[in-house]
Structure 1
Amino acid sequence: MIEESGRITTVESDSFWVETIQRSACQVCVAEKGCGQKLLNRLSGKTALIRVLPGNCDLQSLKAHEQVLIGIPEDVVVKGTLLVYLLPLLSMIGAVLIGAFVISLHDSIVLASALMGFLFGGLIVRAHSWLNKNNRRVQPVLLARLVESSERNT
């Protein structure tokens, strides 16, 4: 499970939004020294807003600016990456083959079929995302509420 800590920004009726500075993926990535993402995040302090499902927690008990720990299984990240990057590429290649060998070898037909195949793959990815937006298996979930140091002393 990949875990991130963050701060709640907004609580909605079925989920909440968490602001994070993503660091945990950097410890498990094999390109650790060759990637500039960790350096850029450190220099810019860039944050990300992530939609999170409540898990077993009651949404009414969550408040804005509260520190939380969220998580998502590693296999979901790998499968999601393959889906997002590979499916549109494969559908584009398939459409190029159909456009070139079945319809016509004319360049404009091949180009149009490549664009249509890529867009079709992107629409499939978008539909998959929409259908799974509340699926606890593939969306980040709340693991724990974190107590800030100022609250511990009181």
Structure 2
Amino acid sequence: MIEEQGRVVSSEPGAAWVETVRQSTCGSCQAKAGCGQALLQRLGGGARQGYIRVLTDRSVQVGDQVMIGLPENAVVNASLYMYILPLIGLFSAALLADNAGLSEPWIILCAFFGLASGFAGVRWYAWRQRSNPDMQPRIMRVMSPSGIVTSDRTLTMP
């Protein structure tokens, strides 16, 4: 489970909107001198806060500190589709155009069309998975303002 801490900014039945603060790990990375992400971070590119809709079966209120989690397999599957499907489309279309005997400009055009088709396939996959609860982040636990984890259970002393 990949976890991130955030703050509830809005609540709705069965879900909540959580604000997370993006933290850069560029200070500990050995490739920071030649990394585009590090350059954007130094230049201040991108917002520091991110807002995400998370599923919850708990009662949360605006301002609550929460720990949200996303299953690793959701990240792996999404990454696999995002990177592999467009490449398969690009190479398949280029090979088909080459085998059809088309000239090089047409092969390049077909390759770009295959790439676009792959991205359309990714978009279709994301649309299909949009309501799958196994692919959605959820609130794992509610934390107190000091960062100490709280529980819904009460302990009884024997």
**TM-score, with structure 2 as normaliser:** 0.72
Q: Does 1:90 align with 2:92?
A: no
Aligned Cα root-mean-square deviation (Å) = 2.9
Structure 1 position 95, deviation (Å): 0.9
Structure 2 unaligned regions, length at least 5: 148-158
Q: Structure 2 vs 1, CA of residues 130 and 76 (structure 1 numbering), >3 Å: closer, same or farther?
A: same
Q: C-alpha distance in 1, partners of 2:103/2:124?
A: 32
Q: Is the 1:17–1:49 contact (alpha carbons within 8 Å) kept by the matching residues of 2?
A: yes
Q: C-alpha distance in 2, partners of 1:147/1:64?
A: 13
Q: Please identify runs of 4+ aligned residues in structure 1 that moved more than 6 A.
A: none
Match of 2:53 among 47, 51, 57: 51
Residue 95 of structure 2: SS of its match in structure 1? helix
Q: Residue 133 of structure 2 aligns to which amino acid in structure 1?
A: R
- Superposed, which structure 2 residues align to 1:72-91 within 5 Å? 72-91=70-89
1:133 counterpart residue number: 130
Residue 64 of structure 1: SS of its match in structure 2? coil
Look at both structures and tell me which one has the larger radius of gyration over its CA atoms: 2
**TM-score, with structure 1 as normaliser:** 0.73
Q: Does 1:16 align with 2:16?
A: yes
The count of residues paired between Structure 1 and Structure 2 equals 140
Q: Does 1:148 align with 2:145?
A: yes
**In the TM superposition, what whole-angstrom CA distance separates every residue of 1:101-132 from its partner, at most 9, and x where no partner exists?**
12x33133212211211111111111111111
Q: Residue 90 of structure 1 aligns to which amino acid in structure 2?
A: I
Match of 1:107 among 87, 104, 108: 104
Higher alpha-carbon deviation: 45-54 or 125-134: 45-54
